[in-house]
Amino acid sequence: MRVLVTGGAGYIGSHTLLELTAQGHEVCVLDNYSNATPEVLTRVRSLSNGIIHDFIGDVRDTAKLDEVMQDFVPEAVIHFAGLKAVGESTEKPLLYYDVNVSGTLTLLRAMERAGCNRIIFSSSATVYGEPVYLPYDEAHPTNPTSVYGRSKLMAEQILTDWAATSPERTAVLLRYFNPVGAHASAQIGEDPTGVPDNLMPFIAQVAVGKRDALQVFGNDYDTPDGTGRRDYIHVVDLARAHVAALNYAQGATGARPFNIGTGQSYSVREMVAAFERACGKPIATKQVGRRAGDIAAMQADSSRANAELDWVATHDLDAMTASTWAWQSKNPDGYKGS
Ligand code: NAD
Ligand code: UD1
């Protein structure tokens, strides 16, 4: 299939390009490089035998989208392009609604003009908010607690209304849990700018000597060791979920959300111990208070994705930490080192 991948130069997008081209899909990236570097596509191309077109542009740019649609004529779109920092979203709500909500609207209008009827959307487990029960299934109430989370839920609602207008239209809403890890080549991986917000890249930067110690946010949660628990998913498993979603979209109609996680959860302390096994050295930690807005634990029930997308996560925690360490130790400064 001919697949337009917005945000394809980003962390999850770059891994997905490799899985798509490995399955024979022809891809076209649209990225404005606000959180990526062109070096990513150089590396992806060196790892892939497939066809990877690319355009530099913004998903809010109507003229650019029309140009891409006319040149590439996609049969489906995977929409990764977006902003994802929860803290920043509180400070810059209009920017987040503009990129994540208006960007999705602009893209859908361009798809309509081009007659493209299938979209796979990067949503997040954060749309659920404080758990009423765990594991979350897709019927769990949605009550996001941040601007970022609300922008994702609004985009989901727009996609759902759009998909309902014609039996030919499909929107697959993938609610990711916590993506971690890197490609087996150690050539592509997560490369956050500035101080990492998320646990795994922070631990990796401590291991490689770029940060002194991991701050452990809270030890008084109602969890076995008192630290927060999350459902971490290997980015290659997540990338493969997009290939599965494309296959599903060919025979589906309407919008449908899917949880993409492993169904297992690990605490901050367990993650540190697993990373120490992978890198063979101790990770310095400092216990501090809770981070505002954090919840104690989250975990996916991904049985719908297992059954309907014919997809299952296959990488375990050791594969997640080992691949993160391989990427970080070979690229201590991320893509900037090349
Ligand atoms: P990322 O920042 O690495 O990738 C996003 C890509 O989109 C980047 O290459 C960036 O340059 C591009 N981009 C941003 N704004 C754009 C715009 N206006 N026009 C064109 N390109 C634009 O992030 P990621 O971790 O790969 O996440 C991809 C998607 O998945 C995002 O929508 C994110 O909200 C969602 N998501 C991520 C996580 C996570 O933990 N990484 C979890 C749940 C959902
Ligand atoms: C965060 C976002 C969430 C987003 C997800 C994936 C918040 C409040 N939530 O979730 O919306 O979908 O990232 O990108 O930011 N931790 C530490 N020290 C650190 C970093 C994290 O102890 O330096 C702990 C956290 O308290 C949490 C766990 O590690 O218990 C995971 O944190 P993180 O990787 O930031 O992911 P989430 O909190 O799940």
Residue 87 C-alpha to ligand 2 middle, in angstroms?
11
Q: What is the percentage of the chain residues whose pLDDT exceeds 90?
A: 99
pLDDT in the model for residue 171: 98
What pLDDT score does 297 carry? 97
CB of 155 shorter than 6 A to ligand 1: no
With 90 as the cut, is the pLDDT of residue 338 above it? no
- The model's pTM is 0.98
Which residue has the least CA distance to atom 19 on ligand 2? 199
Query: Residue 24 pLDDT > 80, yes or no?
Result: yes
Which pLDDT band, with edges at 50, 70 and 90, does 277 fall under? very high
Model confidence pLDDT, tens digit, residues 215-256: 999 999 999 999 999 999 999 999 999 999 999 999 999 999
Residues with CB under 6 A from ligand 2: 84, 86, 124, 126, 148, 178, 197-199, 202, 214-217, 228, 230, 268, 291, 293-294
Whether 148 is catalytic is: yes
Other C-beta atoms lying within 10 Å of the C-beta of residue 137 = 15
* Cβ atoms of residues 126 and 148 within 8 Å: yes
Mean pLDDT of the chain: 97
User: Nearest to residue 236, comparing CAs of 82, 22, 84?
Assistant: 22
For the stretch 51-109, pLDDT in tens is 999 999 999 999 999 999 999 999 999 999 999 999 999 999 999 999 999 999 999 99
- Confidence tier at 287 by pLDDT (50, 70, 90): very high
Residues 6+ away with beta carbon under 8 Å from 311: 240, 241, 244, 245, 260, 305
Q: Residues 169-177: what's their mean pLDDT?
A: 98
Quote the pLDDT of residue 233. Answer: 98
- How far is CA 303 from each of CA 260, 264, 286, 300, rounded to the nearest angstrom? 9, 13, 37, 9
pLDDT band at 327 (very low <50, low <70, confident <90, very high): very high
| pLDDT, position 337 | 74
Residue 3 exposed, middle or buried by CB count within 10 Å (0-12, 13-18, 19+): buried
H-helix or E-strand spanning residue 287: strand 285-288
pLDDT, tens digit (0-9, with 9 covering 90-100), for 103-134: 999 999 999 999 999 999 999 999 999 999 99
Q: Can you give the pLDDT at residue 235?
A: 99
Residue range 146-160: mean pLDDT, rounded: 98
Alpha carbon of 143 to ligand 2 centroid (Å): 18
- CATH of 2-182+232-263+299-314 among 3.60.110.10, 3.40.50.1360, 3.40.980.10, 3.40.50.720: 3.40.50.720
Q: Which of 148, 232, 248, 335 is an active site residue?
A: 148
